[in-house]
């Protein structure tokens, strides 16, 4: 359900001309959740009007997605040939971005999710632009063995992406373990990008309102059952402790980096309620 929401945001944003993910809409239609299919066709999301919370959230998800497209393409240009997408959902970058020959994308998510996305695009006859290894795993447990078995090479540099994952989908100890293990198998000069929530009181209140909104609009899903709201260690601090040199951006800085500065009105409360966006590079120094 949450993977389909991500694809819905990309489908709406594609129709608005913000990004270009032509496979997002067919994936949402194939997933068959009425509410999301309605969102794609609904005029209130086609323009920046209507429900400001939902339309704002959809735009921000899409702008972050576009930022990550450029980040990943930059990593490929810098010579990285190994991409690991943690909690990849219905991501289509293996099909729609430019990749140099010899690039492998490892997509890690729940088995049903990775199999579903791959099957829909295969049935549509969509061609891959890189090697894609789809791994059905539980990221709270031993995902690393599956990754290494699939051909991941810790001696090569990696670009890691965790998009809409480190925002409460994993319990704190599993999130810490994921970041530690990813760091341990990252060659110096590897790259990392993720959004994350510093869990301020405003974020907790706004998160609650979003959950209630989904239910009020007839979606049969309780996000409280899919997410953890315990105390989390700060993701940038955590990565920095594992020798990543981290650049952590507010939503305003993300919008500015994407060329959208001043296009959305955001109150200080909106900024405080939004995720933050980090990129990092693994230091080449040994400590
Ligand atoms: N990255 C995608 C995107 O931005 O569209 C999907 C984000 S979605 C909000 C969160 C994803 O995390 C879902 O696809 C879900 O299946 C996955 N996920 C949550 N908990 C997981 C777990 N324990 N193991 C594997 N995947 C998990």
Pairing of strands 276-282, 131-136: unpaired
* SS3 state of residue 276: strand
CA angle 60, 62, 67 (to 5 degrees): 95
* Local structure of residue 186 (DSSP, 8 states): P
**Position 280 pLDDT exceeds 70:** yes
* Local structure of residue 151 (DSSP, 8 states): T
| 140 pocket-lining for ligand 1 (C-beta < 6 Å) | yes
| 168 pocket-lining for ligand 1 (C-beta < 6 Å) | no
| 2 pocket-lining for ligand 1 (C-beta < 6 Å) | yes
| pLDDT tens track for 105-148 | 999 999 999 999 999 999 999 999 999 999 999 999 999 999 99
How confident is the model over 186-207, as a mean pLDDT?
88
Q: What's residue 268's pLDDT?
A: 84
Distance 2 CA to ligand 1 centre (A): 7
164 exposed, middle or buried (CB, 10 Å; 0-12, 13-18, 19+)? buried
How confident is the model over 40-56, as a mean pLDDT?
64
**Position 47 pLDDT exceeds 90:** no
Distance 110 CA to ligand 1 centre (A): 7
Give every CB contact of residue 220 below 8 A, 6+ residues apart in sequence. none
């Amino acid at each position: 359900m949450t993977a389909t929401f991500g694809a819905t945001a990309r489908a709406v944003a594609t129709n608005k001309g913000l990004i270009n993910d032509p496979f997002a809409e067919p994936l949402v239609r194939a997933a068959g959740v009425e509410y999301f299919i309605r969102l794609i066709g609904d005029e209130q999301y086609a323009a920046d009007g209507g429900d400001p919370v939902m339309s704002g959230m959809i735009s921000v998800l899409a702008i972050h997605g576009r930022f990550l497209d450029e980040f990943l393409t930059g990593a490929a240009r810098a010579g990285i040939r190994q991409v690991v997408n943690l909690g990849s959902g219905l991501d289509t970058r293996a099909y729609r971005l430019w990749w140099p020959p010899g690039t492998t994308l490892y997509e890690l998510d729940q088995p049903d999710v990775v199999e579903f996305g791959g099957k829909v695009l295969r049935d549509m006859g969509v061609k891959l632009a890189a090697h894609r290894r789809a791994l059905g795993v539980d990221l709270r447990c031993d995902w690393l063995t599956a990754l290494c078995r699939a051909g991941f090479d810790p001696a090569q540099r990696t670009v890691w992406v965790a998009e809409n994952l480190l925002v409460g989908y994993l319990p704190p100890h599993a999130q810490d373990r994921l970041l530690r293990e990813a760091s341990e198998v990252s060659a110096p000069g590897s790259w990392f990008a993720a959004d994350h929530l510093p869990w301020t009181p405003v974020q907790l209140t706004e998160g609650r309102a979003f959950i209630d909104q989904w239910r009020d609009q007839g979606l049969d899903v309780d996000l409280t059952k899919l997410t953890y709201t315990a105390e989390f260690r700060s993701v940038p601090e955590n990565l920095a402790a594992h020798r990543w040199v981290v650049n952590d951006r507010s939503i305003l800085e993300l919008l500015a980096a994407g060329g959208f500065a001043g296009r959305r009105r955001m109150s200080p409360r909106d900024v405080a309620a939004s995720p933050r966006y980090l990129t990092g590079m693994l230091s080449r120094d040994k400590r």
